[in-house]
Amino acid sequence: MTQTPTAHTPAQGQARAQFTVPAQHPMVTVLGSGDSLLRVIEKAFPAADIHVRGNEISAVGDAGEVALIQRLFDEMMLVLRTGQPMTEDAVERSIAMLRASENGESDGQETPAEVLTQNILSSRGRTIRPKTLNQKRYVDAIDKHTVVFGIGPAGTGKTYLAMAKAVQALQSKQVNRIILTRPAVEAGERLGFLPGTLYEKIDPYLRPLYDALHDMLDPDSIPRLMAAGTIEVAPLAYMRGRAQPRFTNVLTPDGWRPIGDLQVGDLVIGSNGEPTPVLGVYPQGEKDIYRVTAQDGSWTLCCGEHLWTVRTRDDKRRNKPWRVLETQEMIGNLRAAHARRYELPMLTAPVRLPEREIPMDPYALGLLLGDGCLTGSPTPTFATEDPELAEALEAALPGVALGHRGGPDYVLNRITSPGDVVTLENPVTRVLRELDLLRTRSHTKFIPDDYLYNSDDVRLAVLQGLLDSDGGPVTQKDRTCRIQYTTTSILLRDDVVALVQSLGGVAYTRRRGAEGRKPGLANGREVVYRHDAHVIDIRLPEGIEPFRLARKAEKYRAAGGGGRPMRFIDSIEPAGREETVCIQVAAEDSLYVTQDYLLTHNTLNDAFIILDEAQNTSPEQMKMFLTRLGFDSKVVITGDVTQVDLPTGTKSGLRQVQEILEGLEDVHFSRLTSHDVVRHKLVGRIVDAYEKYDSKHGTENGTHKGGRGRQSGHKGK
């Protein structure tokens, strides 16, 4: 389209342009049905006079506005030449792009025609294209980078465009599979507790992903592709990696690591508790996965061919060696006369982990977690009927003297010296604050990581303090002695189980509900139970002393100790299909420690992976997801940081990751705004209204910034 001079002279300071529409393009394609497109243009340029006569369009007005109108019609003609129709929405977005370029808000490298004619995917009679400049740049970034974050408000096409690129990559054989996932926050990712099949459970959380798939693929082909593992749709809880699934945790000297992250030469923990090197890592492809559960509740995932060292009661009675069986060989054969058939090996020694520096004696910490009052009063207190424990606590806490206030009550006073400042903080309070334990209550206490993953001496000392204060030996006639521990804290329950398992023991947990329990008595008055109690029955191996308190230790020894900890396979159940990996370790018995301290034998490549609603991941989940990346794979993470549904105090992994990965090579952040909303126009205005409100009132996601309170969660994170 060209500008031609006319016989009419515009007013002083004005410019005039005239455009001729080629005959092969009917005017209705340029002006719209009922001049709808023309009205959009006139509304956008109210100061310009636009007239149509035949196939000629003229515009008179400010020189800058007339120039923009000319560019607009040029861009419209370029789009129409591709056979793509112009819509009111496309015209509005073209005008917005041109104005942004004119005002210097964009670099002007991409023209409206380039944006609106970029085809991503054609399917079922429709073509998927970006509709805004930011959307085009987002799509281009997916082509150029391995990891792309699409961050912006609802309705900006973040997930839909990523899905289109994933299907395009699959159809062009750039990848072998598509993995779609999103965090199921509404169920706390505890989907296993919901009724129904896996697909019935996940449908409510993954329906948007299914709907997008149905827009882009033949609906009849989707079940076939999912059954073959070519397309996998699952909550993030089911996506912790991929012989065992790659995500399965394996214990290393530095803590738990996914088996899929291990490389030849890495160290893992063997059955003797010592580090042993990995000799080989062998991807096994996608396999049917089974959940193997022991009678104490511990479990792990593996394939049907995965190897297990086991023995039966007959093997033990006849002094036969342990046998090695495949998972599938044991299915349907787990009982012998109603008893569990297959015993699993246990750690032959406590796990050896590197020693960490700690600010408080571990036994003293265990006592305080059991019978200490940590609620933040200026002077901590300790309650016990055993003076022996009070003396032991005082001996383990330098700079502290225990004052007896009567009965079971002791106060932990700071020992003062001449010249001390009165306002000096109590040393116990200072350490509790450092460990994030200050102001925890009986139902929120936990064991800090520096104690939970420390040397076996430190771990045992913490456990002894807990058992001396809140545990004890339980004897039964003609049976070995078991150890029982009770707490109202779920976190502390899980930490105690982990301590026991790391020392080579077993722990069984059960819950005693608070509701309906007979009230206790304190100073003659009834005290109602407010929290459920978690009872842990413990068995520790010979040589591991659970008690330091004399009366408990004597009772334990008199009953013959705790007997031999044992684990038997209780169930083997199908758990879907997963990409798997097998490792070979140097240990003589080929065993290594996997999830829940189970002993067992023995990459997410070529995939397009989309994590949707990523604002609802925790920082730990985000890191886990990103580190699952394999060779020749592509990852797109989408989310809206203004719509976080995480529990109060839990930081969004999507917010944090921007601080961590911004500027990292091959990682790109695409940020979309209300101008990129492609739903109803009102959605964009709503987004702008909320942003304006938050900016004015200093709020974020509906709450005051910084007003979310102390972070909650395991280990104080």
CATH number of 209's domain: 3.40.50.300
Q: CB–CB of 676/157 below 8 Å?
A: yes
Check whether residue 584 and residue 546 sit in a common domain. no
Q: Checking DSSP bridges between strand 409-414 and strand 381-383, what pairing results, if any?
A: antiparallel
Question: What is the structure's pLDDT at 187?
Answer: 41
CA dist 119 and 278 (Å) reads: 47
Q: Give mean pLDDT, residues 188-212.
A: 56
Q: Is pLDDT at 191 greater than 50 in this prediction? A: no
Q: Is residue 419 part of a domain?
A: yes
CA dist 128 and 112 (Å) reads: 16
| Least-confidence region, from 335-344, 451-460, 697-706 | 697-706
Check whether residue 592 and residue 634 sit in a common domain. no
Distance separating the N- and C-terminal Cα atoms of the chain:
62
Check whether residue 35 and residue 156 sit in a common domain. no
Q: Is pLDDT at 155 greater than 80 in this prediction? A: yes
Confidence of residue 712 (pLDDT cuts 50, 70, 90): very low
CA dist 22 and 14 (Å) reads: 26
Question: What is the structure's pLDDT at 707?
Answer: 42
Residues 6 or more apart in contact with residue 429 via CB below 8 angstroms: 376, 378, 379, 380, 438
Q: How many CA atoms lie within 13 A of 540 on its CB side?
A: 28
Q: Is pLDDT at 250 greater than 80 in this prediction? A: yes
Check whether residue 273 and residue 198 sit in a common domain. no
CA dist 23 and 417 (Å) reads: 101
From 458, 502, 504, 462, select the one nearest 485 (Cα to Cα): 462
Q: Is residue 627 part of a domain?
A: yes
User: Which domain, by its residues, includes 526?
Assistant: 374-558
Question: What is the structure's pLDDT at 189?
Answer: 43
Q: Is residue 231 part of a domain?
A: yes
Check whether residue 267 and residue 332 sit in a common domain. yes
The residue type at 131: K
Question: What is the structure's pLDDT at 555?
Answer: 92
Of the residues 86, 117, 148, which one is the last residue of a structural domain?
A: 117
Q: Give mean pLDDT, residues 468-493.
A: 90
Check whether residue 225 and residue 266 sit in a common domain. no
Q: Is pLDDT at 716 greater than 50 in this prediction? A: no
Displacement of CA 503 from its chain's centroid (Å) = 29
Check whether residue 22 and residue 148 sit in a common domain. no
| 44-55 pLDDT tens trace | 888 788 888 888
Q: Is pLDDT at 14 greater than 60 in this prediction? A: yes
From 490, 440, 473, select the one nearest 550 (Cα to Cα): 473
Highest mean pLDDT: which range of 38-42, 244-248, 491-495, 631-635: 491-495
Check whether residue 394 and residue 520 sit in a common domain. yes
Q: Give mean pLDDT, residues 240-252.
A: 77
Confidence of residue 458 (pLDDT cuts 50, 70, 90): very high
For position 401, which CATH number holds? 3.10.28.10
| 93-123 pLDDT tens trace | 788 777 777 776 666 677 777 777 777 777 6
Residue 461 DSSP SS3: helix
| 584-608 pLDDT tens trace | 787 777 789 999 999 887 534 567 8
Question: What is the structure's pLDDT at 279?
Answer: 75
Q: Is residue 357 part of a domain?
A: no
CA dist 351 and 333 (Å) reads: 32
From 292, 288, 324, select the one nearest 303 (Cα to Cα): 288
- Pairwise pLDDT comparison (587 vs 544), residue with the higher score: 544
Check whether residue 597 and residue 644 sit in a common domain. no
Q: Is pLDDT at 245 greater than 80 in this prediction? A: yes
Q: Is pLDDT at 200 greater than 60 in this prediction? A: no
Check whether residue 382 and residue 476 sit in a common domain. yes
* CA pseudo-torsion sign 22, 24, 27, 29: negative
Confidence of residue 506 (pLDDT cuts 50, 70, 90): very high
Q: Give mean pLDDT, residues 512-526.
A: 75
Q: Is pLDDT at 674 greater than 60 in this prediction? A: yes
In the block, which residue shows the tokens 């329950």? 493
Confidence of residue 124 (pLDDT cuts 50, 70, 90): low
Residues 6 or more apart in contact with residue 226 via CB below 8 angstroms: 232, 233
Question: What is the structure's pLDDT at 217?
Answer: 85
Check whether residue 623 and residue 593 sit in a common domain. no
Q: Is residue 363 part of a domain?
A: no
**Distances from the Cα of 634 to the Cαs of 124, 176, 407, 608, in angstroms?**
25, 11, 65, 5
What is the token pair recorded at 148? Answer: 């792309």
Q: Is residue 402 part of a domain?
A: yes
Q: Is residue 125 part of a domain?
A: no
Ramachandran angles phi, psi of 684, nearest 5°: -60, -40
Q: How many domains does the chain have?
A: 4
DSSP structural state of residue 196: S
Q: Is residue 7 part of a domain?
A: no
Q: Is pLDDT at 443 greater than 70 in this prediction? A: yes
Of the residues 87, 117, 147, which one is the last residue of a structural domain?
A: 117
From 122, 125, 121, select the one nearest 164 (Cα to Cα): 121
| 56-65 pLDDT tens trace | 888 888 888 8
Q: Over the chain, what is the mean pLDDT?
A: 82
Check whether residue 152 and residue 228 sit in a common domain. yes
520: exposed, middle or buried (Cβ count in 10 Å: 0-12, 13-18, 19+): exposed
For position 278, which CATH number holds? 2.170.16.10
Calculate ∠ Cα 404-409-414, nearest 5°: 55
DSSP codes of every residue in 68-132:
HHHHHHHHHHHHHHTTPPP-HHHHHHHHHHHHHHHTTSS---S-HHHHHT---EEETTEEE---S
In the block, which residue shows the tokens 């722990």? 507
Question: What is the structure's pLDDT at 498?
Answer: 95
pTM reported for the whole predicted model: 0.52
| Least-confidence region, from 78-87, 267-276, 294-303, 310-319 | 78-87
